[in-house]
Every structure is written in C-alpha cells, then in structure tokens.
C-alpha cells in the first residue's frame, strides 16, 4: 500500500503579501483556519491529501506556495531544485542558529488574515520538514493557538549546536514560552525515532523550554518496528501515512486533527 495522493482541484489561489514577501496562497474550506505550510519540494500530491483531509474535517485551509511547482509530484529533480532554492534564500536561513527567519513574518501575517476571515478562537499552523519549525515561530503572534511541528529540520542538523537549535531566535523562543506558561498555548511535535534530519536533541530542547505544553509524538522507526517503517522514514503526515486504523502515522494524523479541533473550536 502506498501513501494517498490528490490533485489541486477545487482550490482558489491568489497572491498574498505580508512581512515584505509575496507568495501564492491556496485556500479552501469552511470553519476554523489552519495555515498548512508545505514540505520540500512544495505542494506535492501528498500535501494536497493532508490539506483535503483538514478541509473534510471542517477546517478552512490556507496553503502558501513557498517553493516548488504546486501540484507537481515528488521526483528527485523537483526535490533538488526546490531544496537548492530554499537553502540559498535569505527568507529561510536554513543553516543559521538562534535566528529569526524572515518567512516567519509572512506566516504571521497570513495567520492574522486567515483568523480575521474564519470562525473559531484563533488558527492552527502546521509546518513540515524544512518548514516544521516555522509553525512554532508563527505562534509569536496571538492569532496562532495550535502550532504543529512535523519533523522540523531547520536549521539543518550538521553540528551539535544545529541539532539542539529550536529554529527560532531567543526573543521568539521567549515569547512562545511565555505564551505557553501564561496563556495556555500548546504545541505538538512529531518525528520518527531514527530520523537524523529532525533530531531528538531539537525536541529535547523544545521540551525543556515549553514543558508540558509541548506534546511529543515519536514514532518507532527502529529495526523491527511494528509499523514497518524504514530507517529513512521522515514525513509523518504525508509520505508515511497509510489510511488503515492502527497504522502509527495515520493515528498521528488523527491526533493532529483532534488537537486542532480542541484548540480552535
């Protein structure tokens, strides 16, 4: 059985400008808002499945196209071209530690815009892989009530300092930690146990700063694991999902939907 895929059908698209950047944003749905930030190489068919699933569960989804060609299937060439663009863009600061990433200002503006046009107490933000940590950085803004960090991989974990880095500047981290302590902000982080791109040290650093407000879902991908995941398993909410009850990635996706519903309704 392979991961589900879908095409970009029924989505409206328009440019959105915020924080000094402009990107096309795909929108669809009714109900509380969720900003879904795609993973490398962009809005591929697996990301569209996740977006449609959120819409089907009663959310309005805004999906910014930050890189890649929307709707194009994953391929080595597409991955490499998107990764090359993302790595050199000042907007993402892929290697910097303790860094405020300019893209976070765009995402906060998008979250505020989505919050203003949807019901609910606030919005959720889901980041994945390259964009995983951007979801928590967006939560500096009060409009974000439910950040979800799926296999956050930036900064790329090449050194010990990068593996321990939370993906935000110290002032951003302090703001988010204060919101968790004083406003009841909660976040979810997801990773596979053997995933070197989304290191355990990063989750430990986030847990140390956010405490019980940071819920960690770590799926076993070690030798002989019950889910049958390979040691390179990475994309919790897209590539590794098989829509069968009990499959660990499928159950993790269920928990994310439940978390969003609890926080936003």
pLDDT mean over 155-179 = 96
Q: What percent of the chain has pLDDT over 90?
A: 92
Please check the confidence at residue 111 and state whether its pLDDT lies above 80.
Answer: yes
Distance CA 263, CA 261 (A): 6
Which structure tokens are listed for 19? 């924080």
The reported pLDDT for the residue numbered 197 is 97
Residue 253 has pLDDT above 90, yes or no: yes
d(CA 249, CA 239): 9
Angle (CA) 74 248 121, round 5°: 85
pLDDT confidence of residue 65: 98
Does residue 1 register a pLDDT over 80?
no
Q: Quick one: pLDDT at residue 2?
A: 78
What is residue 160's predicted lDDT score, i.e. its pLDDT?
96
Q: What's residue 4's pLDDT?
A: 82
What is the overall mean pLDDT for the chain?
96
Neighbours of 249 (CB within 10 A): 25
| CATH 3.40.120.10 describes domain 3-264 | no
Tell me: pLDDT of 154 over 90: yes
pTM above 0.95, yes or no: yes
Tokens encoding 147: 């950040």
Under the banding of pLDDT at 50, 70 and 90, the label for residue 100 is very high
C-alpha–C-alpha distance, residues 160 and 179, integer Å? 28
Tokens of 203: 């989750």
Our CA dihedral for 178, 180, 185, 187, rounded to 10 degrees, sits at: 120
pLDDT recorded at residue 87: 85
Predicted local confidence at residue 88, as pLDDT: 85
- Contact (Cβ atoms closer than 8 angstroms) between residue 154 and residue 176: no
pLDDT at 143 over 80: yes
Q: Please determine, for residue 85, whether its predicted confidence score (pLDDT) is greater than 90.
A: no
Q: How confident is the model at residue 5 (pLDDT cuts 50, 70, 90)?
A: confident
Transcribe 90-150 into DSSP letters. TTT-SS-SS---THHHHHHHHHHHHHHTS-SSSEEEEEEGGGTTHHHHHTTSTTEEEEEEE
What per-residue confidence (pLDDT) applies to 227? 96
10 Å CB burial of residue 241 (0-12, 13-18, 19+) is: buried
Segment holding 215, helix H or strand E? strand 214-219
């Amino acid at each position: 059985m392979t991961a589900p895929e879908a095409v970009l059908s029924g989505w409206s698209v328009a440019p959105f400008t915020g924080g000094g950047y402009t990107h096309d944003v795909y929108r669809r749905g009714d109900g509380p808002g969720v900003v879904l930030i795609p993973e490398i190489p962009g809005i591929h068919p697996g990301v569209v499945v996740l977006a449609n699933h959120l819409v089907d569960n009663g959310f309005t989804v805004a999906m910014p196209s930050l890189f890649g060609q929307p709707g194009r299937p994953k391929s080595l060439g597409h991955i490499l071209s998107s990764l090359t663009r993302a790595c050199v863009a000042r907007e993402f600061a892929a290697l910097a530690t303790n860094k405020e990433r300019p893209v976070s200002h765009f995402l906060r503006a998008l979250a505020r815009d989505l919050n203003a046009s949807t019901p609910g107490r606030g919005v959720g933000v889901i980041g994945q892989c390259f964009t995983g940590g951007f979801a928590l950085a967006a939560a500096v803004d009060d409009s974000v009530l439910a950040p979800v960090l799926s296999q956050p991989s930036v900064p790329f974990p090449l050194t010990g300092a990068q593996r321990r880095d939370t993906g935000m500047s110290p002032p951003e981290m302090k703001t988010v930690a204060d919101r968790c302590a004083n406003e009841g902000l909660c976040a979810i982080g997801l990773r596979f146990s053997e995933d070197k791109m989304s290191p355990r040290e990063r989750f430990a650093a986030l847990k140390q700063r956010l405490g019980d407000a940071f819920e960690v879902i770590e799926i076993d991908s070690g030798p002989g694991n019950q889910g049958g995941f390979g040691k390179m398993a990475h994309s919790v909410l897209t590539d590794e999902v098989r829509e069968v009850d009990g499959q660990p990635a499928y159950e993790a996706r269920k928990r994310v939907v439940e978390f969003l519903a609890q926080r936003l309704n």
